[in-house]
Structure 1
Amino acid sequence: MKALRTAATSTVGPYGVVAELGQGGMGRVLLGSAPDGRLVAVKLVHEPLADDDGFRARFRREVAASKAVSGAYTAAVVDADPDAPTPWLASVFVPGPSLHEALTTVGALPEPAVLRLAAGLASALTHIHRAGLVHRDLKPSNVLLTDDGPRVIDFGIVRAVSESDELTRTGWLVGSPAFMSPEQADGGAVGPAGDVFALGSVVVAAATGASPFVGATTLHTLTNIVRHDPRLAGVPDAVRRIVEPCLAKDPADRPTPAAVLASIGQIAPAVRPWPQDVHQLIVRRQAEVGEFLEPGRDATVLVTGPPPRSTRVEARARRPRRWIAAAALVVVLALAGALVWSVWPSERPARPAPSQQAPVIERIGTDMTGTSPVTSLMVSPDGAVITARFEDRTVQSWDSATQDQIGQILGSFSGDGVRHAVFAPDNRTLVTARVEGEDEDQRIVVEHWDLTTGRQPVGPFSPDLTGEDRFYGNVWPMLSPDGRVLAVSSDYDRQIRLWDVNARRSLGGVEERSAWGFSPDSRTLITSGLAGWDVATRRKIAEGISLPDDEQLRSYVYTDDGATQLTVSPDRSTDAEDAVVRWWDTASRNQLRQPLTIATSAERIALSPDGRRLATVDAMTGATVWDLDTGNRIGEKIPGVTAVAFTPNGILVTGNNDNAIQLWRLPAG
């Protein structure tokens, strides 16, 4: 457990709801209190699954079997109601860190702890299989560490969810690639032997810090699992002897969990089974629950989640809506273009001196790990979901409060993958655009994904392209922030073509070669030089900005209300890798304040919600956060960063070249 937030639901069955822990693969996860005061983890099924009669039948069978599982190393199912309007399941609450959190926080475990873990997992699978269940998704985040050993969670539920209609369709991968068995990676049936293979991979990860099959991309990982031997360098001999039989490609060649337990032998008793650092994590989790349950504590405070949505909506409503007046103002000011230059400083500003002592940027939560280096980050409008796009053009999502993965991996692993993605206004639907085919046979496919269920609430949309309307050369699809407009550029087009995604009709074209983006309200298409085009009429309503001769626009970002644009361009006046930040009134194209020079190439940028902090990415040195009021750097550089974003409450999100996504709290001020 990494964060607690107040739950809107007061009771589920006989359980009083204490807090919401986040999202799981099945639905919402709540912290509940039994009538006798015991704490339980209550899982509520997503509404689309609850409406599926086939799912309810499977869920009913899996719950009945799960109740039969007993053992020291499982979080037992204590109650459930498959027939409730919103089906739910309650299991023993375990206030300990996951193995994933332990590995990312304190590193690989020593040999005695790894052997103890292997024995616990083998014992847990023995009890799970004896009840007629197959876990199907055994991975470090589904293994919790407690004072007396590991606990396996979510057994028996994955099959009920994963066999739901359309969940296994192309582009939605069920399971965690790095810990799949070869038969699961190859799309085959998964039996108890698949869990044994996953056990071997999890134990290797505990000993080395990584799956023995993980590759640079998801496709690479799956290929390694199906075709290649595991990487076991650094695995102690005693552990290697146990895991090698588990990792056999043929399920028939793998031992049973009972045989694995026998091969491990007697584990010496210990009062503290894990390294000291892991026990400190356990104590911290227990303290968090204790503090939250303390009488009089304000239960509305979120540890890493966003502020209440109503507060943000009211704040936005008070901001001036200046973009709406852009067209009229630009027409007037176009006749007096010299006014744009009237606010230029007489000479280039000097870079401000760095602060004497940089404030500390605090890393919070635990790493979220993807399939390859991160190329872009998105945060849902309410801040509850973080989504990353990776070099292999797959997409994954996480709960921002708990850092638990939501749903599975999106992307076509044999095709071109996701080119662009945005959140729909409902905060849970991801709209993606991908390219299929080659040369004159290329086509764009826009899809809507419910992140929590894997379903597509509407069918794919693909613009009808025939004859002269075909695309030639490279094609670049771009979606508006609300996911309702598709803009497409290509090598040989002399215009950007637009479509209404919801109405599934053409909107015509704009006489420009390439799209740069959209305004925050999705009504204006931004093209080269930050020229603005009205999407509805395809008319130019804003001329581009004018930079000095020695500057070339590299990137831009809007303030939250759309009234101001910040631009970043390389400073060509010196040999240093500096960048110039400028503030522009969106409507008039006048500069609003003196430019600022910062010591970074600023290849990618993100602006904090209050407009006062700018996060920049330099491919050579990583990410830097700047105070735009003073020009000073905030904290130290964060190495290895390839993408940045902010949540609505000002938490910095970074994506890294080591596949990780991390959260950072900036100092107040």
Structure 2
Amino acid sequence: MASRPLRPGDPRRLGDYQLLARLGEGGMGTVFLGRDPDGQPVAVKAIKPEFAGDEEFRARFRSEVNRAREVPSFCTAAVLAADPDSETPYLVVEYVDGPSLQEMVHERGPMSPGDLHSVAVGVAAALTAIHGVGVIHRDLKPANVLLSLGLPKVIDFGIARALEGTTQHTRPGRFVGTVDYMAPERLDSSVGLVTPAADIFAWGAVIAFAGTGHIPFQGDTPMATAAQILTRPPDLYGLPASLTELVAQALDKDPRKRPTANELLQRLLLVATPKLITVDTPSPIAADVRTPVPRDRRENGRFDARDLLEQIIAENPAASPYAVAPMSRSVERQLNKVRRPQPTRPRVGTRTRTRSRTPRRLIYAVAAVLLASATGVTLAYAQNTGKEPSVAATQLAPESAPASASVKLLGPSFSDPLREPGRFQESTSEAGRCTFRDARLHAQATGRSTYQCHGPTDAFAGDQSIAVNLTLAGAGSCAMIWFRHLDTRGYQLTACAEVLELEELNGAVLTSIGRTSAVALAPGTPHNLSIVISGGHATVSVDDKPAVQAAVADPNLASGRVQLGVTNTDKAKNAEVSFANLDVRAG
């Protein structure tokens, strides 16, 4: 994925690293393409200012960075440096050149059985290593699996826990992660504690997506998807029969019945060579359309994973790494690395094991992953498409293409002084009401509730601007502005006396994408607030001064209405916000 130019407010240097361009942006921060003192490319993840001021977050960030350093670099982007105590905390990781699994499937469709098996082995090996140092990923998804020219690499692990565990930045209805790949215990705490088994569930969902082109639990909204995850069996239609049983076990509702990462890996290495098949669930019927390559032959320097495993076992795992010389010297380095004595450390989860058996298992894991890469998954990608592999942003999902690039649904521009009913109508319910008085639209919320006024149906997509004059009645009153909003999906701005926050709304799930407490809205004082969306990026300004920025480039939230309302943060008093002079412009 091509990088994007730095924006005016972006830093040009963090520590010893020069920042050159943007690679991606997410709820926790921005990933930049950087250059180290030796001139080598790196990926630099800069944490957003609103988290930088939270000491609880800094402490968790520091802890998770230290754990991330312990994960073997063969399965992830290696951590090169970090400064949790900097004014802008940042993390520097290896720059990974290659598409994400999400990009590859979207561009080319479901993977072939052989390539899918290789990715399944690679991700299982990565989870084995990650869990082995006491880390739970918590946000494994196709966008976080990079198919580099060496082997699949899993990114963005553990760091999300720094945010998830910080109570100041979470509230009911908000989750850190992607609902499509969340385990039941992530959605409903009564199912059980969040353990490494949650990553196994995500592994099953990721492999199902890669093999079928669709997620195994798919509702019309995130809330409906969550309900399916909690109550329905997975849809595995189209998944190769060689993986169906294992993926189904990984997607078991009961975390205690799922295999561990190491058990996944061992079973994958014993699965027969995958064949191209079409299956239905729950009664899979396999139909071969391809003759498998004999397992006792090596062709063009490639080995079957089972052949190498049997060879290593037969020749003694402690034998010279030159026993697998055809795999290149990188195998030698990785085998030497995992043979080093490891300190004893309890595993995370309900079962307690030591690291004493890990080196032998990791020898198999490294060999399997390197063999998986030798099948040429990513090389085939570049050769078959005729394109150079794209750059995938490290540690955060990359920015999507602006919605305006493909959506041409533009509603008419309009201006509404909001003096009387027109585009907005008066309404009332138990949660609140919207009325006109004193030549302004007044939105009221009773108790701890949010109330949306009945507004226009004009739909906008692509670049647009929204400007309105608003007044907060009290410290507990927060103005709400929704845009690209349809039913229970869209973006929303919450403007309170001491905080401005942009969020992505997906049913019951709210994800913060931008937040600041540096701009104050004085209650009782009119303020001019604007939202300017350009190129998939939103800038919020208060009284003509930029306040908060965020990416709004989700292609699934490409168009929708502009709405006004109010939310109450003070359960003892009702909240009220008044609006005037709303101006909405397309383009």
TM-score w.r.t. structure 2 length? Answer: 0.55
Once the 2 structures are TM-superposed, how far is the Cα of residue 75 of structure 1 from its aligned partner? 1.0
Determine the structure 2 residue equivalent to 1:100.
Answer: 102
Amino acid at match of 1:42: V
Q: Which runs of 5+ in 1 are unaligned?
A: 290-301, 307-321, 328-374, 398-405, 416-421, 432-448, 455-476, 481-485, 488-502, 509-521, 526-557, 561-606, 610-669
Residue by residue over 1:570-602, the C-alpha shift from the partner in whole angstroms, topping out at 9 and shown as x without a partner, is xxxxxxxxxxxxxxxxxxxxxxxxxxxxxxxxx
Q: Give the distance between the partners of 1:215 and 1:279, measured in 2 at CA.
A: 35
Contact 1:389 1:395 in 2 (8 A): yes
Determine the structure 2 residue equivalent to 1:163.
Answer: 165
Match of 1:29 among 6, 16, 31: 31
Give the % identical residues: 33
Contact 2:121 2:265 in 1 (8 A): yes
Classify the secondary structure of the residue corresponding to 2:75: coil
Matched, 1:523 2:523: no
Matched, 1:222 2:226: yes
Matched, 1:284 2:388: yes
Match of 1:272 among 342, 352, 376: 376
Contact 1:75 1:152 in 2 (8 A): yes
Amino acid at match of 2:261: P
How many pairs align?
365
Amino acid at match of 1:394: R
Contact 2:532 2:540 in 1 (8 A): no
Classify the secondary structure of the residue corresponding to 1:16: strand
Q: Give the distance between the partners of 2:156 and 2:83, measured in 1 at CA.
A: 16
Once the 2 structures are TM-superposed, how far is the Cα of residue 276 of structure 1 from its aligned partner? 3.4
Classify the secondary structure of the residue corresponding to 2:169: coil
Determine the structure 2 residue equivalent to 1:252.
Answer: 256
Determine the structure 1 residue equivalent to 2:292.
Answer: none
Determine the structure 2 residue equivalent to 1:234.
Answer: 238
- Aligned pairs for 1:171-570 (under 5 A) are 171-187=173-189, 189-265=193-269, 267-268=304-305, 269=371, 270=374, 272-274=376-378, 276-277=380-381, 283-285=387-389, 377=461, 379=463, 381=465, 388-391=484-487, 393-395=488-490, 409-410=504-505, 413=508, 424=531, 479=563, 486=565, 505=576, 523=581
Q: Give the distance between the partners of 1:254 and 1:34, measured in 2 at CA.
A: 42
CA RMSD of aligned residues (A): 4.3
Amino acid at match of 1:410: L
Contact 1:26 1:43 in 2 (8 A): no
Q: Which structure's residues are more often helix, by fraction?
A: 2
Q: Give the distance between the partners of 1:288 and 1:206, measured in 2 at CA.
A: 17
Once the 2 structures are TM-superposed, how far is the Cα of residue 390 of structure 1 from its aligned partner? 4.8
Determine the structure 2 residue equivalent to 1:16.
Answer: 18
Classify the secondary structure of the residue corresponding to 1:523: strand
Q: Give the distance between the partners of 1:93 and 1:126, measured in 2 at CA.
A: 22
Determine the structure 2 residue equivalent to 1:149.
Answer: 151
Higher mean C-alpha deviation, range 115-124 or range 8-17: 8-17
Amino acid at match of 1:200: G
Contact 2:98 2:392 in 1 (8 A): no
Q: Give the distance between the partners of 1:324 and 1:236, measured in 2 at CA.
A: 57
Contact 2:183 2:202 in 1 (8 A): yes
Contact 2:138 2:198 in 1 (8 A): yes
Once the 2 structures are TM-superposed, how far is the Cα of residue 127 of structure 1 from its aligned partner? 1.1
Q: Give the distance between the partners of 1:394 and 1:450, measured in 2 at CA.
A: 21
Once the 2 structures are TM-superposed, how far is the Cα of residue 56 of structure 1 from its aligned partner? 0.5
Q: Give the distance between the partners of 2:54 and 2:391, measured in 1 at CA.
A: 40
TM-score w.r.t. structure 1 length? Answer: 0.48
Once the 2 structures are TM-superposed, how far is the Cα of residue 451 of structure 1 from its aligned partner? 8.1
Amino acid at match of 2:581: R
Give the 3 Å change call, closer, same or farther, for CA 390–125 of structure 1 in structure 2: farther
Contact 2:2 2:390 in 1 (8 A): no
Q: Give the distance between the partners of 1:259 and 1:243, measured in 2 at CA.
A: 12
Amino acid at match of 1:276: A
Give the 3 Å change call, closer, same or farther, for CA 408–180 of structure 1 in structure 2: farther
Classify the secondary structure of the residue corresponding to 1:242: helix
Q: Give the distance between the partners of 2:540 and 2:231, measured in 1 at CA.
A: 33
Give the 3 Å change call, closer, same or farther, for CA 396–255 of structure 1 in structure 2: farther
Residue by residue over 1:602-642, the C-alpha shift from the partner in whole angstroms, topping out at 9 and shown as x without a partner, is xxxxx6x3xxxxxxxxxxxxxxxxxxxxxxxxxxxxxxxxx
Higher RCO (CA < 8 A, seq sep 6+): 2
Classify the secondary structure of the residue corresponding to 1:72: helix
Once the 2 structures are TM-superposed, how far is the Cα of residue 59 of structure 1 from its aligned partner? 0.5
Give the 3 Å change call, closer, same or farther, for CA 284–264 of structure 1 in structure 2: same
Q: Give the distance between the partners of 2:95 and 2:503, measured in 1 at CA.
A: 24
Contact 2:149 2:379 in 1 (8 A): no
Determine the structure 2 residue equivalent to 1:57.
Answer: 59
